[in-house]
Amino acid sequence: MKLAEMVPSAPEAAPLARLVVQAGVGWAVGGLPQTIGADRRGTDAPWDYLPLLSMKKRYENAGLRLAVIEARPPLDRAKRGLDGRDAEIDAVCTLLTNMGRLGIPVWCYEWMSDFNWLRTDTAVPSRGGSLVSGYDHALMQQAPPVEAGPISEDELWENLEYFLRRVVPVAEEAGVKLAMHPDDPPISPVRGVGRIMRSVDNFQRLLDLVPSPVNGITLCQGNFRLMTDDIPAAIRKFGEQGKIFFVHFRDVRGTVESFVETWHDDGPTDLYECLRTYREVGFDGPMRPDHVPTVEGDSNVNPGYSLYGRLFALGYIRGLMEGVQRDGRAAPVR
């Protein structure tokens, strides 16, 4: 397994890159290149070759290998099936082609229309006065509908199939894996918008929709914990199919209607057993901590991604990985 960390592509994130390398991390999860400054190449878009090359070299110069791009060109029209979606999908195809040319193996994407992950509170008190995020669906019920209007789950499935039939052949040719992230939270509808990547069965439907070696998943454990009480069973289900391409390693407490994030060592899930199961199914891809607590001395300006909280998460996960390794049934942590 490849222990990785989300490191923004902006040059000002260099201190974070140094910190994670000092913590023993060798793999980066990045976004798209900057369109102004360090990665600017004439009129090139962020998904064009030269900006991606510039970004990749910056990670390498910092001591990190780029394992995943976890950012997307605009896909609002594609998700809703609107005029202009083909141009958006063309941009994704360009991104995948150039990722293949540069040896960037995994693209993490999602199919959440109109908005991405949601929380109703980003400063929930946790252990020792640390801060975590939480979600209460009863409060979200009072939120106004989105400006674009409602969209059904059936429409989202139809538009996803159209998207996959365009991009899967390109990804196959490029040798890039498509890793679908769950809806966060995995509940439907939210503000009148359907959500489809919200159950174990729906993830199997995704894989069967356009069968391909490159059509797979990001197993975000916090979201899957809200879909099932048996995370190891989900790991086996998808891992035995060779469909887990990327892992977000985190935990939550509660139900899909009302939950809070937890410290990595303080949630209801047996994370050690999860790692043993990843080993059992032969997963050797990138895994990163996700949604860490904000701790004393750090800022909550970017909830879930505080600087010091990452150090605890990385150390804890690395310790679990080494424990799995030492029990004689796993390959070394890389």
Which secondary-structure segment (H or E) carries 154? helix 153-174
Which of 48, 181, 251, 274 is the catalytic position?
A: 181
- Catalytic annotation present for 137: no
- Strand partners of residue 177: 106
CB atoms within 10 A of CB 217: 26
b or e along 270-279 (b: 16 or more beta carbons within 10 Å of the residue's beta carbon)?
ebeebbbbbb
Contact 242, 283 (CB under 8 A): no
Backbone angles phi, psi at 5, to 5 degrees: -145, 145
Rounded-to-integer distance, Cα 58 and Cα 62, Å = 6
- Catalytic annotation present for 264: no
Which of 49, 272, 305, 308 is the catalytic position?
A: 305
- Catalytic annotation present for 220: yes
Which of 39, 48, 251, 290 is the catalytic position?
A: 290
Which residue, 71, 40, 68, is CA-closest to 54?
Answer: 40
Rounded-to-integer distance, Cα 261 and Cα 14, Å = 27
Side by side, the strands of the sheet bearing 258-261 are 121-125, 131-136, 258-261, 252-255
Rounded-to-integer distance, Cα 305 and Cα 165, Å = 34
Contact 55, 15 (CB under 8 A): no
Rounded-to-integer distance, Cα 169 and Cα 179, Å = 15
26: CB partners within 8 A, 6+ apart? 2, 3, 63, 64, 65, 334
Which of 93, 108, 220, 274 is the catalytic position?
A: 220
Contact 164, 95 (CB under 8 A): no
Which of 184, 248, 264, 274 is the catalytic position?
A: 248
Three-state SS at 247: strand
Rounded-to-integer distance, Cα 171 and Cα 174, Å = 5
User: Which residues are part of the catalytic machinery?
Assistant: 181, 220, 248, 290-291, 305
